[in-house]
Amino acid sequence: MDMKKLKKIIIPAVLMLAASAAVMAIINNPPKSEGRNRGQENKMNVAAAQITPQDFQVKLASYGVVQPKTQTSLISQVSGEVVYLSEKFREGGFFNKGERLLAVDARDYQANVDIARAALAAADLALKEEQARGTQALEDWQRLRKDEKPDELAMRKPQLAYATANLAAARAELNKALLALERTEIKAPYNGRVLSKQVDIGQVIAGNSLLGEIYATDVVEVRLPVNNEDLTLLDLPEEFREGSYSQQNIRVNFTSDIYKSQTWQGQIVRTEGAIDQNSQQLYVVAEIKDPFSISKDQSPVKIGQYVNATIFGKLLTDAIVIDKNTIYQESYVYTLVNDALKRTDIHIRWQNDNLAIIDRGLSVNSMLVSTPLGMVSSGTRVNLVNADGSPKKRPGKDRGKGKNKDKQESIAAARAGGAKS
């Protein structure tokens, strides 16, 4: 056999042996750890926390405008020139109950009182004279016609009744004149403050003229709308025909954009009798007591001031409260089950800007995923990490690793001891 034929036989055989050796080397030494690491790197890292029940104080947000509880329009009941105006009778002025705020020229009304008193005296005299005439007529009748029954006209009974009626009318005229004289002065019906003033000194006013608006300063009110779905979270006071059914007082905190650091305390005292036709919401009425008291830490509230309200509702026990950012499309969340994501449908009982109370869908000890996720399918395998992204320790696995390490150290020590011996 020549050299060329020998090369044709030997070279293919060598190549086949080299290829077989390479295949066997790959099969016997697969990149196991590298493949495992690559699979782990492809998993999504998520943070999750165990759900625990808690007692939660519901706080409902609302708003309103401060209004007087008692407001009065001062109307003139007499006419005349304004001759007195109190320094306190001005916009924003405070006054006490019984203080004189305004007075009209009373001379004409005093004259009417004097005239009425004279008329009363005349009527009283006329009545006494008529009584004397009646007595004299009865005596004359008994002396001259004692056997006959006297008639009423002869006894002057109609004249006596007329004189009696005249006296009553004169007394009524005097009372009327005194009342008109009393009405020339406007006195404060309660402790309050002037909202507006429509008259000034020297002005001539007519009867039924508007003089100003005042309001009581002991209490102010705020009407607060409440969403219909939130009504079950409040123990609202209700009033029935048979009497008032009072619930526990509901506390309200008021704040205002005008005074950033100010808070006023109030409470809900009643609900309105009808649903508002425009908003289809129920309005509750809250009171702020003594809103104009002097305090270092609190400024007085203003009538007409817009305020934000925080209504303290029911205290829910063992409630499931979660971060609102973990909810998707107001209907579901992601939980973690055996290192895999699970889409869980939920029902929100109540929520605010930050938190939500869940009454269906989640159970205690469920692992709620807090990492923001996009459209992820249920069953997706994930790595559990802490909120800061660091790997989360698994107590069971760590304990196992510790035991294996101790076992390995024991074996090594035993081998070392055997070698020394």
CATH architecture of the domain with residue range 61-68+224-314: Beta Barrel (2.40)
Enter the pTM of the model: 0.70
Positions of CATH 2.40.420.20 in the chain: 45-56+317-385
Rounded Cα–Cα distance for residues 237 and 246 (Å): 5
Which amino acid type is present at position 145?
R
Residue labelled with tokens 């905190």: 253
Helices (H) and strands (E) in the chain, counts: 5, 23
Per-residue model confidence (pLDDT) at position 419: 40
Query: Which one of 3.90.550.10, 3.40.47.10, 1.10.357.10, 2.40.420.20 gives the CATH number of domain 45-56+317-385?
Result: 2.40.420.20
| pLDDT for position 225 | 95
> CATH 2.40.50.100 region(s) of the chain?
71-215
- Could you tell me if 371 and 392 are in contact, meaning their C-beta atoms sit under 8 angstroms apart? no
Contact between 198 and 208 (Cβ < 8 Å): no
Sign of CA dihedral 222, 225, 229, 231: positive
The confidence score (pLDDT) of residue 93 equals 95
Amino acid at 323: D
DSSP 3-state of 167: helix
Phi and psi at residue 131, in whole multiples of 5°? -65, -40
Burial of 312 (0-12, 13-18, 19+ CB in 10 A): middle
CATH topology of domain 71-215: OB fold (Dihydrolipoamide Acetyltransferase, E2P) (2.40.50)
Per-residue pLDDT at 116: 97
Mean pLDDT by 10 residues, the chain (421 residues): 63 72 67 48 83 93 95 96 96 95 96 97 93 83 74 82 94 97 96 96 95 96 93 80 66 88 89 85 93 76 93 93 92 91 92 91 90 85 79 53 46 42 37
Helix ranges, 195-341 (H): none
C-alpha distances out from residue 43 to 39, 40, 382, Å: 7, 5, 5
Comparing C-alpha atoms, which of 261, 268, 257, 352 is closest to residue 311?
268
